[in-house]
Amino acid sequence: MKKILITGAAGDVGTRLRKILKGVYPDIRISDIRKPADLRADEQFVEADLANMAQVEKAVAGIEGIIHLGGFSVEGPWDTILNSNIVGCYNTFEAARKAGVKRIIFATSNHAVGFYPRRRKIGIDAPVRPDSRYGVSKAFGEALGAMYAYKHGLSVTCLRIGNVADAPVDVRRLSIWLHPEDLAQLIRIGLEHPDIRHEIFYGMSDNAHGFWDNGNAFRFGYRPKYKAEDYREAAVAAQAKLAADPVGDWYVGGTFCSNEFDADSGKLAQF
């Protein structure tokens, strides 16, 4: 991979990756709906609304690999999620197919499986249980990626990202935390490993109490460098200041699960 596109490059994760991957790939193009505030003179920026196919095609032209971070990154109204995360995701994959792109890294989310109880550890074979409209859009993207991999021959890696930050800031994030450099390692596996067809990896660092079995990523050589337990004392202290959330504290998806929740709270999923 020499010519790489990062969509959603103005966001927090995109901003971090631009710095980490600089020099790793010789030609990195960045794109977003708005120009990054910290755009450097040596960065190639293409403005694109993912819901606009013509703009996406312009951003994708001549690219070999895509790191697709673009879209609405939290829960939102259906129309927002539909245009940014579903139409926009389809446009990205379809433009990539037409442009002859070889590989796509799709930033999916833990919210695609948010309605699993925290006491159960799941792998990549567990059926999706989205906790929100946002989570539904990520499950859609994973399925779309599978179709483009098997029907059109793209190499697709779906990263079910937990929480990208310098440190985990509460108890839930001790289990789902992903250091930016570990994220970059997962992305490089997706862009460079010769045997990737369509794979799902969990985006988490070396978390002793992780909610997920990340054996599939390990199988492809992932070796996270950062440990969530190094930050346990601070995370537990921060958790003590938060209000109890019986639904959110039970499920992997946290507040994404309890937001708008109106089912019987006495019948939370046990497995």
Output the CA–CA distances (angstroms, integers) from residue 248 to 34, 147, 172, in the order listed: 33, 33, 10
Does residue 25 have an active-site annotation?
A: no
- Given the residues 134, 148, 222, 226, the one annotated as active site: 134
Contact 18, 29 (CB under 8 A): no
Burial status of residue 237 (CB atoms within 10 A of its CB: 0-12, 13-18, 19 or more): exposed
Q: How far is the C-alpha of 78 from the C-alpha of 222, rounded, in Å? A: 35
User: Would you state the structure tokens that stand for residue 162, as one six-digit string?
Assistant: 């937990």
Helices (H), the chain: 12-21, 53-60, 78-81, 88-99, 133-152, 171-176, 180-192, 215-219, 232-239, 255-258
Catalytic residues: 134
